[in-house]
Structure 1
């Protein structure tokens, strides 16, 4: 666990990296000459005279990153040394604020590098990622375990309320609420990172951190490479059941793979999931399903099972070294839920009614299968296919029909419209800002007074160099300490790129995801705090999903669907009759979806509540955990362990439950608009901005929610929305 100062992204991202390779030795004179040349040519060492100081991607090359990291780390070490060696007594300005300002170059380099490792991966970038990992991990360990730095932080922490100081000292040391919050968070981060350990324990912890860093990178790269290796190549005769849009997307994927005239299904969710829903070829559905669920579990060079075992063991050991029972207790000690027991209580409250509903959905599916004369057993690769038939029979609703109304350009306009109605924001597309891939688009964001808020990058299409899924990140976070620093935010998705001239159609689920990630984006864009550690989305996992999930609700509202869900050919809005059918079917298959998600969360919690790891077999472990909870055998985990990047390549270990925790907040929170009978009610929107989107980590999360909602949250809306009440 690392110090969340301005270097936070750099160091925490460093924990996601791995490996080391030795470079050829150089003579000292050659080294000096090389450094001088690199400094002249390297864009990271120059002032960026670009709009908003955005990264000049047209100048940045892979070769620039290593010397940039080396120089940035060296500069940051000097800045930290200056703080430690300051002869003046430690106070907020010369210690905490100085730490916040330190590491500017490291943050700059990291903000670009770690965004590109997820979107423009290559063998060269992966090798570089493995080399940079131990550098950053060691650097972060040096800071978080620096005894003299911790002493200064502790002095400020102990004096934060000024109760033990003289009146003159109080006036000099008096801190506002945001400063006190920052001091407490930084002090907690030091303790969480092992500052109170003995020297021997700190050495052991540093070794563990570095190894976890290596494993994390290896896991993520294996998942990406194993996904790349799979392609289901189809002929025209294999496409029965697929819509024209799905066929076009498969043809475009084939062309991109050098297979013109063929059709390709990849393991991107936007490709494989519709295939599982609509393909009439059961044998091909089985191939696609097995490819999808066995990522990282193919007993090949990209297999992740041994990595999982070692990582779970190391996390348990680290937690116990720091005085916690297990990794879950360690993680949740700094979360809204507070304890693993609280998180598990939520999951089981949702799990039990979800299983009951899934069993009802299974009976409906079996009835359809019987009507069609199917004699085979219902298998996991059959569920989505037959669920669509049930949806059509019981609700006269076809997902393929719905997708005709969800076109990317209209959905972009829709999310910008909501941001304008709620917060007065406008989005002006900019074509004069350098991007890292031609498909990336950039908008300047302005407030209601026409003042610039920041930049928003949108990267919406899948490609072989890009990791799967959807996510928000930043090239730069908002802050005021170093001036009026505007955020530069990016949203990523993995939509199928259509054939040239065709519209980009998405499923309703994709549209919800688009809104979800934009909710994260707004959380970063609307941040209005002084200190970068507390800015934007720099909050616990079970709070950070709340603003994103609340924003999802807007696309489901009838007035939004009427305005923006326009048929991609006729431009006609959804009919009232279709809207009624969508609403009627809104909770269909939610048993399946809830079981699928919660199964992953339960396995996550089971791994990370282990106190001793012996003879762990990943496949057997998943089965044992979920069998004990009575999981229907026809439903698998949404993310099987071997490609569960949230917990083994990201920051959600023992925290995947956070999506469900946040759903309590977002479902209950959106009811505040419903109760006003106006989804853009100004008073409610103003409170949403004041207490949620603009606050970062400057306020206790329960206080923030009550400030917005006027009361504590309840689970009623969550259960109602999922049809589990």
Structure 2
């Protein structure tokens, strides 16, 4: 299951030399009174004052923190002593603590608690943040000091983590135009400033369409929908001032179950069109022209450094290394995926015909009839499975897995000692089961609400480092489950349960990190999804299924025959899942390899999908006009393929557990998992880390077997 990476992490990645955190506020006030700038107080090495943050504080806090960070950077750059690892690289790693704290709040207000007032501040800050970053990345004196340390380290290598930090820091400068002449540097900074505003506008346009396209149902239009879903839709409608109606909001968590179960075909089409038209409605919130401008600016920027296209520049420090390698992987899987879609559509059409439904399968029918095929082929009803997937029990299951693999214990914090930004947020202390050592805190924000971006993601408010003394981790998981009516259980689909485990995998990656320096907390994009995708596999283990999948009313364990059906159907609908994802990844790459001059985004998307042979019965997972991974920042630009790259690793690593004597809970393999795949973060080359774990490189055949596709090699 594909997750979204938090927007604040994307923002933070722009700030080259700080391990990011976030904040928010706006009226002028003395620095000491701005809570966003204060050092975090309280237990657990200090925690963010989420209960005291206001939008009004964001702008002054951000501006003050940026000014202080630039002063710190200037002090490093103007140091009259000869450049050394300590007085240059370590000093840079230590700088920006105030800004990190501000970013912790900023990310919450951006992703979890957005408002029109905050979006105005965000729009104003975007170009200022870009200018701030350019002042660091284009600081010639600073770069010359970094370069001197880098060159010295090539002659006399430092200890491994120090060497890695030096090389990553130097590469970061180099990739961001540090070697350009003065005129090109000026244009480079101008482009970044323009892009920052475009990214912000893109994201806000999508959020507008998510908030403003709501489908209201009447009582006679609820056919096929589950009771819990109906109650939730009624509450959402009431909250929106439409008492007596039922609201289907424009997010995946609401759209997906509606399309899967509703018997109202015309309404399915309406809900489908609302969702897949986000950012593409021909109005002031349409993103197509913004995308064209983004692509032109990206190409111009990398052209200043001599690259032919954005993809070539971006992938040089990823596992794939080149666009060709990424494309080759995707195109190796694509034929099998679309062939499977044809089989799935034929099965669905046959069921529709048997039922006497005089229709031809359309995109808004896919989920609905796929469920009927699942029922027919495997006697498996997704809604029946859902009765055993309670959010609270799944949370307990994740804690169990973390205890078995990582030796972690999770204890809920209920005494109010840790402030939260919304009443839905819960917090747990994470400790080592043997020593009792505090590893950190885990925040969970599970429910959808207005102002919260869609999808699921993980982030940190504080990461683990040791170069200035050990710090614990403050990590969060964020989901968009539909909040139930009072007293009702939160029941989720099997896919959503997988996503829940996936995002928890990111959190465990944060908690398990054993690195000295903040820069090493960063990740290689086509590798960092691997650890979280791998953790999904534990949802299907007998230990989790037998203990934590219990009926929400009776408390009875899920029947063995139902489990057998789930496992038998594990490759069901892989054509749909693989094709909708790969279509988005291929469009992402092809857009950045194309000439953006006079590009028409809608035409490009349509024509490229036609050339690829995209089945007409399903859309891309993320259509271009709302593809936030790629156009609300640069974290996944030409890198969306990374989920597939990571899934090759995931499938291969899963086979290591399957082959082990203790299966997925084998202690020896689990220890290697933590030591080589989770603890290093970016402290070593990912390919080397994987070989340390597996004894060889990963093989694509494992992925093909996993998805039930033919293995041709």
Which residue of structure 1 lines up, in the alignment, with residue 510 of structure 2? 524
Query: Which one of 231, 241, 245 corresponds to residue 248 of structure 1?
Result: 231
Aligned-pair distance for 1:264? 0.7
Q: Does 2:55 align with 1:62?
A: yes
Which residue of structure 2 lines up, in the alignment, with residue 694 of structure 1? 679
Query: Which one of 437, 446, 451 corresponds to residue 437 of structure 2?
Result: 451
Unaligned runs of 5+ in 2: 1-10
Which residue of structure 1 lines up, in the alignment, with residue 451 of structure 2? 465
Which residue of structure 2 lines up, in the alignment, with residue 43 of structure 1? 35
Inter-partner Cα distance in structure 2 for 1:95 and 1:513: 41
Query: Which one of 318, 338, 345 corresponds to residue 328 of structure 2?
Result: 345
Which residue of structure 2 lines up, in the alignment, with residue 410 of structure 1? 393
Aligned-pair distance for 1:558? 2.9
Query: Is the 8 Å Cα contact of residues 6 and 104 (structure 1) preserved in structure 2?
Result: no
Which residue of structure 2 lines up, in the alignment, with residue 26 of structure 1? none
Which residue of structure 1 lines up, in the alignment, with residue 120 of structure 2? 127
Q: Give CA deviations for 1:635-682 in whole Å, capped at 9, x if unaligned.
A: 110000111111111410100000010000011111111111421111
Aligned-pair distance for 1:684? 0.7
Inter-partner Cα distance in structure 2 for 1:487 and 1:634: 44
Q: Does 2:218 align with 1:207?
A: no
Q: Does 2:669 align with 1:684?
A: yes
Query: Is the 8 Å Cα contact of residues 4 and 189 (structure 1) preserved in structure 2?
Result: no
Which residue of structure 2 lines up, in the alignment, with residue 383 of structure 1? 366
Q: Does 2:264 align with 1:281?
A: yes
Aligned-pair distance for 1:44? 2.8
Inter-partner Cα distance in structure 1 for 2:464 and 2:109: 20
Aligned-pair distance for 1:8? 4.6
SS at structure 2 position matched to 1:323: coil
Inter-partner Cα distance in structure 2 for 1:120 and 1:684: 40
Query: Is the 8 Å Cα contact of residues 15 and 133 (structure 2) preserved in structure 1?
Result: no
Query: Which one of 75, 84, 105 corresponds to residue 82 of structure 1?
Result: 75
Which residue of structure 1 lines up, in the alignment, with residue 601 of structure 2? 618
Q: Give CA deviations for 1:275-317 in whole Å, capped at 9, x if unaligned.
A: 0011000000000000010001111221111111100111111
Query: Is the 8 Å Cα contact of residues 395 and 584 (structure 1) preserved in structure 2?
Result: yes
Query: Is the 8 Å Cα contact of residues 584 and 621 (structure 2) preserved in structure 1?
Result: yes
Q: Which moved more, 1:343-352 or 1:478-487?
A: 478-487
Inter-partner Cα distance in structure 1 for 2:16 and 2:207: 30
Q: Does 2:76 align with 1:107?
A: no
Query: Is the 8 Å Cα contact of residues 415 and 518 (structure 1) preserved in structure 2?
Result: yes
Query: Is the 8 Å Cα contact of residues 16 and 172 (structure 2) preserved in structure 1?
Result: no
SS at structure 1 position matched to 2:664: coil
Query: Is the 8 Å Cα contact of residues 100 and 531 (structure 1) preserved in structure 2?
Result: yes
Inter-partner Cα distance in structure 1 for 2:457 and 2:549: 23
Inter-partner Cα distance in structure 1 for 2:690 and 2:654: 12
RMSD: 1.6
Aligned-pair distance for 1:39? 2.1
Which residue of structure 1 lines up, in the alignment, with residue 631 of structure 2? 648
Q: Does 2:463 align with 1:480?
A: no
Inter-partner Cα distance in structure 1 for 2:431 and 2:174: 40
Equivalences for residues 199-598 of structure 1 within 5 A: 199-431=182-414, 432=416, 433-448=418-433, 449-535=435-521, 538-598=522-582
Inter-partner Cα distance in structure 1 for 2:39 and 2:184: 42
Which residue of structure 2 lines up, in the alignment, with residue 599 of structure 1? 583
Q: Does 2:692 align with 1:707?
A: yes
Query: Is the 8 Å Cα contact of residues 268 and 364 (structure 2) preserved in structure 1?
Result: yes
Q: Which moved more, 1:333-342 or 1:241-250?
A: 241-250
TM-score using structure 2 length: 0.95
Inter-partner Cα distance in structure 1 for 2:515 and 2:111: 28
Unaligned runs of 5+ in 1: 18-22, 24-33, 164-173
Query: Is the 8 Å Cα contact of residues 3 and 190 (structure 1) preserved in structure 2?
Result: no
Query: Is the 8 Å Cα contact of residues 411 and 511 (structure 1) preserved in structure 2?
Result: yes
Equivalences for residues 652-663 of structure 1 within 5 A: 652-663=636-647
TM-score using structure 1 length: 0.93
Query: Is the 8 Å Cα contact of residues 84 and 149 (structure 1) preserved in structure 2?
Result: yes
Q: Give CA deviations for 1:455-486 in whole Å, capped at 9, x if unaligned.
A: 11100100011000000111112111232111
Query: Which one of 147, 154, 157 corresponds to residue 140 of structure 2?
Result: 147
Aligned-pair distance for 1:327? 0.6
